[in-house]
Amino acid sequence: MRHLEDKFNKEYGYPWVFLNEEEFDGEFRSAVQRESSAPISFGLIPKEHWYQPDWIDEEKATEGRAQMQAANIIYADSVPYRNMCRFNSGFFFNHPLLQPYRYYWRVEPDIQYFCDVTYDPFDYLRDNKKTYGFTISFYEWEKTIPTLWATVKDFMTAHPEYIASENAMNYLSDNDGDSYNLCHFWSNFEIADMDFWRSEAYAKFFEFLDSKGGFYYERWGDAPVHSIAAALFLPKDQLHFFRDIGYRHEPFQHCPKGDDWVRGKCTCNSHDTLDYAPQSCISRYEKLFH
């Protein structure tokens, strides 16, 4: 919070919204309120939006977690992590505290911002008709989503009317959608338009995915879910790479280069960035436009 206030929000005063499945205590509220003079709201997540649904087959879910733990997959046995992924995939944008807002900037704990943000990214999205913005893109761990793409293909077959004509399928697939290449936008940083998540297309998509139980039987993350939806249901020119925003979430970071680095007075090393490393999908994204 301090990073983002220092690099951006001290000049703009945008409100903060904190959500949790338990009430925030007074100590936390006081600490947060010391960090910003902007309005701050604290909200409770409805139980039905956070906790594992009753209809999930717990025996099957337990078996899936055990298999992932045996494969040394991060958060393999964590139900709360799965709760978070499902909440961020399908519910956060409908929370009452977010209803006054169209755009949001997702902020996670333990992140860093390296550069001054010298313009308003929300204005940029609106003025340039952009819907979803990201800074980091790389490959998902296939063992966490073994049936996700097959489920997505079933949805596309059932609802071709939601697929944008100038979409970003070539970012997601190297064979016109037959298989998923695992590329996704890392969703711990998102600046985006919640009207998209609130749309009929996305609502139907999430309901379809949720009905399959993959958030709990496997470990479907909000990053591939958001990325696949944005790439398929939006024209590709409504996606935006915030290449001028320096950002780190362990263990990866994006650091701007050239004039962007100078303009932002960045403190990161412009050579220390994931962008064109073997595990990055940025080059696939950029090929969409060349």
Tell how far CA 40 is from the center of its chain: 22
**Whether the Cβ atoms of residue 270 and residue 253 lie closer than 8 Å to each other:** no
Instruction: With H, G, I as helix, E, B as strand and everything else as coil, classify residue 267.
Output: coil
Tell how far CA 7 is from the center of its chain: 21
- Token output for 277: 């490393």
What's the CA gap between 235 and 167, in Å, rounded?
5
Q: How many CA atoms does the CB half-sphere of 57 hold within 13 Å?
A: 10
| Nearest-5° Cα angle at 185, 290 to 217 | 135
Tell how far CA 217 is from the center of its chain: 21
Q: Where in the sequence numbering do the catalytic residues fall?
A: 190
Closest alpha carbon to 183 in 236, 141, 241? 141
